Every structure is written in C-alpha cells, then in structure tokens.
Structure 1
C-alpha cells in the first residue's frame, strides 16, 4: 500500500509537470504570453479532465492528514480528544509547546492559534471536497457515470467527516456545499444545521460508493459505520442500531476483507499490517515522498523522550498516558475491571516508577514492577518501566521521560514503529526519526462493536450489548498475544475475563460496562473527551481526574477545573470571527 500511495503521489506530480509543459507550449507563440498561471498550479481546463478530477480528490484525501503543518490538524486528536479526555498528559515540560498548557487545564480562549489551525484545516478539507464536486458538475463529459458517482461519493464522505469533526469540537459551525459561491461563505452563520448535512453526505456516500475499491479509499461500509456514529452522537439510538447491524452483518474493508477483530491487538498498530480486517476508515501515510507531511507528521512529537538508538523517535515525549488511565487497567480477581472507579484508590493504583521515586523517595533502580492483576491491554497501550517496549529495549523509566514531576512516568505505545522498521516504515529525512508511516485508523471494527453495544443498551437489547462487549474482551484475553518477556513469560500478571449475563442485568450496569470498555479498548486514540461530552458526564469525570492527577502533577493541574456548560465545547476561533464578523459567527457559551 505504501508503494501505491507513493505511486499515486508521483503520478500527480508527473501530471502537474505534463500540464505545465503543455501550458508553456500552448502560449509560447501567443500574444497572451504574459498571462502565465502561478507555478505548480493547474488551470480549470486541466482540472476538468478525468485525471484532473482524480487529482483534486487525492488532494482532498491529503487534508485528512492536515494541510497547514499544525499538529492539532491530525486525525488522532491527541490533544483535543485524549489529553482533554484525561487519558494522557501533555508531556515534556511546562516551557515546551506551552500553548497546550492552558488547553489541558480547560482554560483555553478564542485566541488559541492551535484551535484556529484545526478550524482552518477542516474547512480546507471541506473546500477541497466542494471543489471536486463543483468540477464534476461543470464538466459532465469528463467522467463516465460510474466514476462520477464514485468520486462524488468519496468527496461527500470526506466532507461529511470534516464537518463531523468540526461539529464535535465546536458544536455550532457554518455549513455550505459546492453550490455556494466563495464570496458568500463569509455570510454563513454557525446556525446548528451541520447534522443534516453530515447525514446527507454519508447517505449519498453509502448509496454511491462501491463495497470494494482501492485500499485507502473510503467505501460504502465506511459510510455506513460513520452514519451509525453520527446517529449515536445525536442520541438517535434506534436508527444507529439499524446502521450498525448492517455494518456488522455485511461490512467489508475497502480491499474486500470481511470486518473482524484481529486476533493480536498489537497488530492494529503495526505498519506492516496496514489495511487489515479491523480497519473501517483510516488515514494512509507514506515515506520518502519529498515531504515528511505525508507520514504521520501529527505524531512527530509524541514518541518517548531522549531514547537515543534504544528507542523510537528520540524525541519528544509530548504524549504521556496518565496515571489514572494506567490504574483503570487494574482488574479484580475475577478478571473484570473496577467499574466502581476504585482503581485510583491507593490499594489499587498501579505501582510505577513515579510513585517509587517522586512519592516514596526511593532510587529508581530498586523499583519492583506491579504484581497485581491487570488487563493485558495496558502493555499494548502504555510504556511502563521494565516492560518490553515493542522490539526495542524494556522501558527504562525516567531515562525516557523529560520531567517526572510534570508529566508522570508513562510513554505511549500505540502507533509507535518497531526497531525492525527503522528507515523502512519511517521517514528519517527530517529533524527527527519519528515520522512513522503507518495508517491511523479513524474508525476500527472494535469501535463499531462498542458503539453498537452502546446503542443497544440505550434502545435495544442488553443481551446483544453483552455479546458485542465480550467479543472485544475475548480478543484481549488471547494469552498467546500478551506482551512477553524475552524468556517467553508474561510481562505482567495479566487477568481478564468476559462478562456474564448477571453483569448486564440492568441498563445502568450495562451502560457502565460498555462505557468503561471503550475507555480500555480505545485509550489514547482520541475518542475519550468526545465520549464524555456526549454522555453528559464530562464535568464530573474530568474534575475527578484533575483532583486525582493534581495530587502528583501539581505544577500542571493545581487549581485547574472543568466548567460545566462551557468546557464541553472548544471556543470558536476569534480569528474566524474577525473574518466573518462577530454578528455572523456567534461564540460558544462562556468564552
């Protein structure tokens, strides 16, 4: 797939060169020779061809990865979804990328340049999708009917994604399609009509996209899954069930694999296994294309700090799983999680080198790893001292952490490349080795199962919800895929079991279990904040998180709080209100 992506990019570049040469030949003997288009650009006549429209579409896909070089634009929402959801800390130290500091304390304001770039990046994606659709309409002879339907479906699917992303961040946004002239866009208010457009785009995509296409393209089943997600976010649970049932029964990946959970949880995050059966919608990446932005540039800061040759990236430690997230992987003797949230109690908290050194005041070399029962997904998700870190060395603890007192003891472990993949699945052409070329999965099949379980709890069958959750837990319980020491023994005391019917005897009990399973299964993947907000429990949950984490990370969280009725949404960027006018683009409450 990496070769296909690079070939596609190369093809676009070659096409651009061809068009520019044709332009030069076409005007060199004309008295209009001064009317030269900007270098590297294509005119409407060139874009109105089949190749030109495909190039515009590929440019729309490129916007999934971010277009302004800002890490908030990335699809993984490591700040706005994970750090803000209490499952990770902004690492390194307080002086590094300090503009994140007020955001993680729920003190951001409308002047944040990072949030403005998130807004700009998503609307750039929407503008690109609209350009594809408008170009198809303006050039009806350029494409055969089947290709016109497919490309339109892809463009509308991508546009629906960009609008969905804006909606879940900002709540009320301007909405426009390809029929609106560019000069009128600034007159469109944030009127709260995005959901209708999002559903219309996903419906069109479902109706017009093929089930099987090229790996990396969206297909009809990605549209169906995303429609179910959109329904879920709106509380339309019965409608969501209909869509999820269809996806679970019939869905296939773009490259034709029936949707399924991978046996090995770690393989979800392995570049050598991209485009796998669990991938519903992903963002493709590539290396050695001439720009590291085609790799996972949005993650380049998030590897463990100062690893040298013993670990990946060698920079910069910005994304460190939280103490309370690690504690959530504690299990009872029966292999079930502590759903009463007692996992943060001192008797249950996971022993780690932070407590050993900062709290207990002992030498890190005398640290003894936790011996209590743990969900095995902890060591696929979190880098912990003395536990093997993929195929690198065992995590050494403070040697890979820039500041224990500021960010805690843990490193991320998902979407990290392996030592054996250095310079083959990484792009080392820039300032850091940390440009991995693995796909980021926007929606994966476990996510679909858990969203379906949630919808079933709210408007369907607790029995079906139990089955979906247990499918996810059953995969995690495959002991042959647990993290192992070099001698083949389990790296920790892993203990996990499935729920029984009595555990789902009531809607409240089932709801608690499903929500907790999302926390464990999808940790660090950018979903948590938005889940808490749509469940209506963000203020309670995150203030509890701040109180716990703030006992230890005092500099970071001392005095921080989540404000109900305000902090659930990000502020509309002031820069955008300056452009449109504050009378047109209304600000969110509390800002």
Structure 2
C-alpha cells in the first residue's frame, strides 16, 4: 500500500493554520498560543510548504460532512441521484436538503460556508507567509512561483465551491485584519476565480514531484470548467481541447480513460491516467487516520463481517437514477420514459431479505451495476447483494445501496483504516475532475459552438469504455450478472438532440459523484427535473419526500448562514433571494 496517497506532512500543515497571534501593549502579557507557530517561524520555504499542505488537507472537508469536495449531499442528494437513506431521525439535518426546505439557520449551509472558508483561510495564509519568506536562501524563485500557483489554485477551488453553492461570497485576500475582512462586500467571484486558475495554469509545472499536487493541467481543466459554468463556450473549448490533447497527471502520465469503468472507483487505481485532480487519502499510515472521511456514512447498513463498512445506510441511490440506466437497443430513454411501468427496473422493494427474489432481465447500461448496489447482483467481491438485509429502512431510502465509493472485500484491512469508530474509512481518492468528466465538458463546449460531430465523437468515446466494463460484471458461473447492452450514437440531427444526449450522458457517467444538481441548475433544468423526480420518488417514499417542493429562485442556491449576516451585517453580506 502506498502510504503517500495523501500529501506528506498534512497533519503539520493543518496544525500550522488558523493560529491567531495574541498581541498586547504590555510585553509580559504576551503569551505564545499553544498549538500554533509564529509567522516568523513559518516564513521559510519549509513553513510555506507545510501551510500549503494544510490547504490541500481541507479538500476533503475533514470533520465537516458538507464542506468536502465530493458534494455527495450538496450535489448528488440535492440533484436527485440519491436519497438520504437510513432513517428519518438519523442525521435529520439532511432531511431539509431532500425536501428543499433549507433556511438561514440550517446546519448544512453553515457547515459548508465554514468548511470552505477554512480552505480559503489556509490558502491565504500560505500566500501571506510566502511574501514574508523572500529572505530564506532555500526558497528559490521557481519554488516561490510554484507555491503561489498551488495556493491560488486551492483558493480558486474553494471559491468555485462557494460560488456554485451560494452565488456570492466575500473575496478575502492576504493581509486583511479580522475587522477588514468583515467589511469586504459579498459578490459574485467568477472573475477572481478565473484569475487564480489562470495564474496557476500559466505558472505551475506540467509535472509535479508528488502525486496529488495540482499541476498546470489540473489548473487548465478547472479553469475550463469555470468558463463552462459561465457559458463562455469558445474559450472553454480551446482550453479544454488543449488539456485533453496534452494533459498529464501530476507525475507525468498522459491522461486517458481506464479500461474498465469500475477502476475509476477502486483505490488500487488511485492517481491513474484518469485522475485530473483528486483529494488524496491513505490507510494504515502508522501516524493518524488520513483515510477518506467524506463517505464514511455511505455504506450498506448492518453488513457485519460479510460486507463493507457495516454502517450507516446513507446515500442510497434513487429509483430515478437506477431506472436511468435502462437502455433500448443499447441507447438510453432520453425522453425520461425509463420511469414508466413498462420500462422501469424490477426491484426487491418490499421483499424481505429471506424471501425468494430473482432480478429482472431488463436491458441495462453496465454502469448501473458499477454504481448501484441491487439485490442479486455481485457486490465488489462480497457476494450477491442480499437486498433488505443490507438496507436500514426501505421505506426511508428505497432498495438500493451505494457502490461507487465502497471498498472491495479483498481490500479489507489494506485499503481501509479501522483505527477509528468504523471500518468504513477507505483509502480511495475522490476525483474532483476525472478524464471522462473532462471529455464530456469538452463535448458540451463543442456542441454549444456548433461542432455536433466533435461532441458525438467524445460522447461515444465515454460510452465505448462503459461497454468494455460489462466484461467484469460476472456471476460465480462466469455468466454476465445482468442483461447489459450499451451502444454508441450514430449521429445527432440537431443541437437540441446533441444537447439532450450530452446532458443524459453526464447523468449516467457521473452519477453519485456530486455534479448533478450543479449541472441541472446551469442548464436551467433544475426546477423541472427535480420536481419530476420528487413526484416519482414520493410514490415509493412518501415519508422522506413529504412536503418536498423545489421552488425558484430560493432553492437554486443555499441561504447565506444567518450567523454570518449577524456578524457582518446585511449591507456587507446580503441574504439570497427567497430567504428573507
């Protein structure tokens, strides 16, 4: 097991951050804070490196379920990929997200705001210390440029997440006092996010010594995504094309798709050619638990030693997302008729674990069974999924289990860390951007600029890889686990047809990866799609979806936490529409 899958000295970087120096006119009252180092100590190459590593450490939102980059709740549950799962009273704060009933005092917006601004603070502290470290003879000019590029890349990431979550945020720069920070007026920050990513793209090396660090190509991909989110199609296309053609992983491997779709979610393939930029994790490091904390709740429930994690039954895929993988002669039901009684998947909803059940033989995209755990289908080497035995409460979450970010039976104890309260700490990285996402972003930019043939080629490239992945979904007797059939598109007759196919392909390829809500909103489809999904899910799960209703404009973005408005005032930090 490679112990360096999270950046080295992350714990040091985290320790160094956030310490405020105590000052007083009477010198004998000046007491150095415990657990923090003075800027004079940190204003060295080694000190800045440690603080930058601390900024990387916040990518996973450690200790904060809603501040991490995976957006499993913010993007996937809110986007209709997954139910909360488990029971109504378990982590009930997430119920507000499922029902679109957040308010300014809800926990989720507050945790997200605080977690992301912790990342901003760490990035800015690195920039402050870098400016003060100019006299360190060990800090070469190339080191200083690289460190500034990494810090600005990370700051741009945290502000990108703030922008897509809140539509505004105060843009804080190094050197501001606490009082000055509280007077920075909140605003849209797309231009500043672009500037930070642009600096990183122009100045970071193409290859880095350590896996997990941002390089030029990661910055270019994220800058392209930033342009895409603003509808700047032509510059996004040019930049994304350059990254697709020339990009390399941090350690210099040429970008490409892994042969099998499932390997993109297998810790044994972390930092592969498909990884553009990822949150790093490790297991059994011998020091502290630096495994992935973001998914620790999202395992089948009550598996005991016969299954992974043994807790806690969250993040159960929706009926809608599972049905979305239905195919007709290998192609998806782009008109959403996959949910009709004639087309939807057979499930074991309402069937006891000990009762007989035979999975249906419907034609499906093989990505279904790499993404969704369903009864009777092999589950990552743990045997066939046993259905209700692994579901905490079907009436609250449905019949499915999460699968993408769950470890294999063969990885127990080697790619998992059991030193904390659960076996569910895995060493799998989370890819903030992976290569298939990059291909689909480029396809979108091509379609929106009239190159339908170029978009078609890229979408088909993604679908071809998905088709190859059917070969590893086998029963014990060697036969295919289900009726897998996926085909490529022959042509697109119009931009609307191409756009519909692209939108659906992102839904299938990236399900459960935190993208869906943000995609729907930027396409102007959030209200229509989410109200449709609510109505469908409510037929089976009336409790969790009771009172659920997606309403614009308020549900398009999170409310600004009331605690922050109370601190800074509504003139500096105005509330988002619909929450006043």
Q: Residue 246 in 1 paired to residue 242 in 2?
A: yes
Q: Residue 569 in 1 paired to residue 564 in 2?
A: no
Find the aligned partners of 1:287 and 1:137 in 2 and give their Cα distance.
35
Cα pair distance change 1:530/1:139, threshold 3 Å:
same
From 518, 525, 535, give the equivalent of 2:523.
535
Match of 1:88 in 2: 82
Find the aligned partners of 1:590 and 1:433 in 2 and give their Cα distance.
42
How far did residue 292 of structure 1 move?
6.5
> What is the DSSP-based 3-state SS (H/G/I as helix, E as strand, rest coil) of the residue aligned with 1:491?
coil
CA contact (8 A) 1:93 1:406 kept: yes
> Where is the helix percentage greater, Structure 1 or Structure 2?
1
From 126, 130, 133, give the equivalent of 1:132.
126
Q: Residue 237 in 1 paired to residue 233 in 2?
A: yes
What runs of 5+ residues in structure 1 fail to find an aligned partner? 17-31
CA contact (8 A) 1:353 1:364 kept: no
Q: Residue 446 in 1 paired to residue 442 in 2?
A: no
**Matches for 1:429-444 after TM superposition, within 5 Å:** 429-444=419-434
C-alpha distance after superposition, 1:377-400 (max 9, x if no partner): 000000000101001121000000
From 413, 427, 448, give the equivalent of 1:423.
413
Match of 1:392 in 2: 382
> What is the DSSP-based 3-state SS (H/G/I as helix, E as strand, rest coil) of the residue aligned with 2:417?
coil
Number of equivalenced pairs: 567
From 55, 60, 67, give the equivalent of 2:55.
60
How far did residue 472 of structure 1 move?
0.1
From 326, 332, 335, give the equivalent of 1:337.
332
TM-score, with normalisation over the residues of structure 2?
A: 0.94
Find the aligned partners of 2:206 and 2:164 in 1 and give their Cα distance.
27
Find the aligned partners of 2:252 and 2:393 in 1 and give their Cα distance.
46
How far did residue 208 of structure 1 move?
0.8
C-alpha distance after superposition, 1:81-106 (max 9, x if no partner): 00110010001010110111122100
How far did residue 176 of structure 1 move?
2.0
C-alpha distance after superposition, 1:282-311 (max 9, x if no partner): 000123457866221121111001100111
TM-score, with normalisation over the residues of structure 1?
A: 0.93
From 25, 37, 44, give the equivalent of 1:42.
37
C-alpha distance after superposition, 1:418-467 (max 9, x if no partner): 11111211110111100111110000000011111111111140000000
CA contact (8 A) 2:309 2:423 kept: yes
Match of 2:493 in 1: 505
CA contact (8 A) 1:73 1:118 kept: yes
Q: Residue 378 in 1 paired to residue 368 in 2?
A: yes
Match of 2:570 in 1: 582
CA contact (8 A) 1:265 1:481 kept: no
**Matches for 1:150-165 after TM superposition, within 5 Å:** 150-165=146-161
CA contact (8 A) 1:189 1:585 kept: yes
Match of 1:29 in 2: none
C-alpha distance after superposition, 1:112-170 (max 9, x if no partner): 12221110111111111111111111221221100000010000000000000000000
Cα pair distance change 1:480/1:170, threshold 3 Å:
closer
Q: Residue 494 in 1 paired to residue 484 in 2?
A: yes
How far did residue 35 of structure 1 move?
5.2
> What is the DSSP-based 3-state SS (H/G/I as helix, E as strand, rest coil) of the residue aligned with 1:89?
strand
CA contact (8 A) 1:73 1:122 kept: yes
Question: Which stretch of the first structure deviates more once superposed, 378-387 or 555-564?
Answer: 555-564
CA contact (8 A) 1:60 1:155 kept: yes
What runs of 5+ residues in structure 2 fail to find an aligned partner? 17-26
Match of 1:3 in 2: 3
Q: Residue 182 in 1 paired to residue 170 in 2?
A: no
C-alpha distance after superposition, 1:55-107 (max 9, x if no partner): 0110110110114x121112111111001100100010101101111221001
Find the aligned partners of 2:113 and 2:73 in 1 and give their Cα distance.
14
CA contact (8 A) 1:295 1:436 kept: yes
Match of 1:98 in 2: 92
CA contact (8 A) 2:13 2:54 kept: no
How far did residue 33 of structure 1 move?
9.1
Find the aligned partners of 2:264 and 2:235 in 1 and give their Cα distance.
29
Match of 1:471 in 2: 461
CA contact (8 A) 1:65 1:294 kept: no
Superposition RMSD in Å = 2.0
Match of 1:347 in 2: 342
From 253, 259, 267, give the equivalent of 2:255.
259
CA contact (8 A) 2:278 2:429 kept: yes
How far did residue 582 of structure 1 move?
2.0
> What is the DSSP-based 3-state SS (H/G/I as helix, E as strand, rest coil) of the residue aligned with 1:557?
coil
CA contact (8 A) 2:353 2:388 kept: no
CA contact (8 A) 1:237 1:455 kept: yes
Find the aligned partners of 1:6 and 1:442 in 2 and give their Cα distance.
14
Find the aligned partners of 2:72 and 2:155 in 1 and give their Cα distance.
22
